[in-house]
Amino acid sequence: MEVQGVSLKGNIIDGKLLAERINQETCKIIKEKKILAGLAAILVGNDKASELYVTLKERACERAEIDFHLYKFDESQTDSEIIEVIKFLNQDPDIDAILVQLPLPEKFDEKEIIKAMDPKKDVDGFHPENILKLQARKPEILSPLALGIDAMIQETKIKLENKKITILSNSEIFAEPFKFLYAKHNQVTGTNLKDPDHKEKCHEADILIVAIGNPKYITNEFVKDQAVVIDVGINDLGDETVGDVDFHNVMLKAGYITPVPGGVGPLTIAYLLKNTIRLAENHQ
């Protein structure tokens, strides 16, 4: 049955409904083309948010009949042990797509671990070869997270011209897809919590994308009137799950805002499945 409903509820963007529509399309493609796909996930350490995300990805794969393989490492293990498993997965014909759940614990070399992947199996588009193609405006694959965020921004029907777009994150790689998507006609700025001007850069933004893993960090003091606020964070506080944005504090000031849960997360997973199917088709 086709998913019906309105994806905008006031100024709240319903990522769950958008994701259901995309998942329905993906499942239809899998059945019609009889695609057999395999996704391997690398999870390092005991970060609660990362563990939750990987669990949700596994459940989504099960529903779509995509084979999911989890490789879990604890913090006592080494870069070389993780890279050895990735090299094995690169050669495994049953694995079409590989993801490394980010962020990694600080002791690990994120760039070297991502670099170890076969770029043709890199479902997130973070391999250096894929980043170079992205920067050359010839990407073969885009990050599911970026695709999900873009779908939410597009849903607002805001004209994406001459806008200030700020990405507050912990990773340099994170901002690259948004430069590809928006920098031609907009001003795209990446920043982080170590930048003494990050609050000012956030406040100037017409569109603010936040991914810092810091619960309720963004209050209305960071937000421009009527800005679009996209909250990528997912933080388990025990009695509740919250984003990096103080939702109820910011909601009345923002033009549009994404909830946590039910915002970016479901859409990211929906596009992860789409990317996995795309890579599987490339390998057939």
Known binding-site residues equal: 234
Measure the CA–CA gap between 227 and 208, rounded to whole angstroms.
7
**Helix (H) or strand (E) segment spanning residue 44:** strand 38-44
Strands (E), 132-254: 164-169, 187-191, 207-211, 228-231, 235-236, 241-242
| CA gap 213, 210 in Å, rounded | 9
Among 279, 227, 282, which Cα is nearest to 66's? 279
Binding site listing for NADP(+): 234
Q: Are strands 228-231 and 256-257 parallel, antiparallel or unpaired?
A: parallel
The first and second tokens of residue 139, run together, are 């990407």
Lay out the sheet containing 12-13: strands in order across: 8-9, 12-13, 256-257, 228-231, 207-211, 164-169, 187-191
